[in-house]
């Protein structure tokens, strides 16, 4: 399957999932994870209508930026962002999807560049994963709101590996409820991104309220 055919198939699946949940397919943003894909592949995905591209690694992102690989589509940073590499990412991407600590929030603020972000939720409480615990997310959202150079757009989560079909659904439902609560009580319903769902579970994520999938 070509990149164009892949994108078309995923969009059809997203549309079916959205419509089954009474949602509009056009309200779902498709982010192509472009890790280990060269600049030509990025351009091909953009030409095929991908909504945004997401990079996991700072070095790879920097190289492809120099090659103008992302021209024509927003660039997101979707990997674990190390504090010593914050300067290389802030101001270079439309969205950092993976802010999972207070320290990272403060590091972004100190650079003095307005940066849209998502708070990463470690919904499964996994030690090997970064992100805020479910119990910490509200306080983190309050802190983000107080920072003048951080623009919180919403939440992101990657649930534990699913056990059985639809195994991610309880985690998606939990983060969706958290998102709705924080959005209504702290942000006057101005948050607009709930990023959850990847290649194995994005249809369930859409049915559970995701506005962005990878």
Percentage of the chain beyond pLDDT 70 is: 100
Q: How confident is the model at residue 162 (pLDDT cuts 50, 70, 90)?
A: confident
Maximal CA-CA distance, the chain: 46
pLDDT in tens, 16-56: 999 999 999 999 999 999 998 999 999 999 999 999 999 99
Q: What is the mean pLDDT of residues 70-88?
A: 97
Q: Please give the DSSP secondary-structure letter assigned to residue 51.
A: S
pLDDT classification of 72: cutoffs 50, 70, 90: very high
Alpha helical stretches, state H, 78-212: 102-110, 137-146, 169-186, 202-207
**What is the rounded CA–CA span in Å between residue 134 and residue 126?**
11
Has residue 213 got a pLDDT over 90?
yes
Band (pLDDT 50/70/90 cuts) for residue 164 is confident
Rounded CA separation 45/95 (Å): 19
In DSSP terms, which residues pair with 163 in a beta bridge?
A: none
pLDDT score of 66 more than 90: yes
Q: What does DSSP assign to residue 121?
A: E
Alpha carbon distance 84, 27 (integer Å): 35
pLDDT band at 116 (very low <50, low <70, confident <90, very high): very high
pLDDT of residue 142: 98
């Amino acid at each position: 399957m070509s990149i164009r055919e892949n994108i078309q198939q995923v969009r059809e699946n997203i549309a079916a999932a959205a419509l089954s949940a009474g949602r509009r397919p056009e309200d779902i943003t498709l982010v192509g994870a472009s890790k280990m894909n060269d600049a030509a592949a990025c351009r091909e995905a953009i030409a095929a209508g991908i909504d945004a591209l997401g990079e996991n690694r700072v070095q790879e992102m920097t190289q492809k930026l120099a090659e103008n690989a992302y021209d024509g589509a927003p660039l997101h940073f979707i990997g674990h962002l190390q504090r010593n590499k914050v300067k290389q990412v802030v101001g270079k991407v439309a969205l950092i999807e993976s802010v999972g600590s207070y320290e990272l929030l403060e590091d972004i603020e100190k650079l003095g560049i307005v940066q849209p972000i998502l708070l990463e939720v470690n919904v499964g409480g996994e030690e090997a994963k970064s992100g805020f615990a479910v119990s910490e997310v509200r306080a983190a959202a309050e802190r983000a709101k107080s920072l003048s150079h951080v623009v919180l757009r919403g939440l992101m989560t990657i649930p534990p590996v699913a056990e059985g079909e639809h195994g991610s659904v309880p985690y998606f439902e939990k983060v969706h409820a958290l998102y709705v609560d924080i959005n209504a009580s702290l942000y006057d319903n101005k948050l607009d991104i709930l990023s959850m769902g990847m290649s194995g579970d994005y249809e369930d994520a859409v049915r559970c309220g995701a506005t962005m999938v990878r």
